[in-house]
Structure 1
Amino acid sequence: MRRRSFLLLSGLSALLLGALRLVRRPTPPEVPDTVLLAAVLDSLLPADGDWPSATELGLEDALGRELDARPVLQRTLAHLLWRIDRQARTLAGEGFADLLPDRRAALLAEILDHDRGLAPPFARLRALAFEHYYAHPAVWRRLPGYHPPQPLGYPDYTRPPPHDRLA
């Protein structure tokens, strides 16, 4: 190989590598998209009769506040939602939040069957959603025969117990 051919070939290779670096794979966000989170939560916990949906109770905001204090889980769920949305765009041609509610539920089941890697983070999201949903006073009032021992929680939980109760 002559020097001129070598220089031309190495120059073209460098140009090609530089162009490949410019084309980057999309990266998931660090924080969950609130609209997408609301759509997934309403797919898990839709309104049914006199039972409110997840977004009617403001679960996306409550979950967002909890995730703000847990950055690793926040990134994990942001990545999960991003992957669900990308799969929805591939399978349905539009974003998950843009679909009709009935289509969302069916598509979510299809996405989870298609991508088994989503199962662990999705199970965590589902557990958090159910935890927040059934802890909401508007929901536990609807449960038959259920009367929590501390319906309003423990208002003084941040204070240490009195000394006379420690003995």
Structure 2
Amino acid sequence: MERKPLSKITVSEIVTDCGINRNTFYYHFEDIQALLKWMLEQEAVEVLKNFDLLLDYEDAINFVLDYVEENKHILNCAYDSMGRDELKRFFYNDFCGIMLTIVTRLEEILGLSLSDDFRNFICDFYTEALTAKLIEVMRSKQPYDREKLIRFISITFQASLPEVIKRACKEE
């Protein structure tokens, strides 16, 4: 992707560069998009799943921002090739799973239980917001205030999520 857009890269070029045969590629991946998704998951999302996000949320946010900054070129190539919606879909299931872990742990800590519908809504809502913010950081040509962004995300999660859970359980 440093030499050409993702849409112009062929499986033949990948297998030649990697020294594997075509069948090996297709044994593991349906297409180049599947390879890209696997790469992104392996490098970022799988590692992020190892954080205790209720305790290490700032470390986790820093990790994600480091990843976005270090891989800005690749992520922007993926964005240019696939578009915003498809890139969001790449991250959605994994980030939604992470949000589900956070919400479920908060429910346990608060001694409350949300309906499945509302729990899914919360996970979707916060996942959409986080994904949009990451894409904004990734696409921006302007520098951003990293500490301020981390502080804003942290405040939003810490202040709103427990209150949303409490209120939803009270009204359900």
**Fold conserved (TM > 0.5)?**
no
Structure showing greater radius of gyration is 1
Give the number of the structure whose residues are more often helix, by fraction. 2
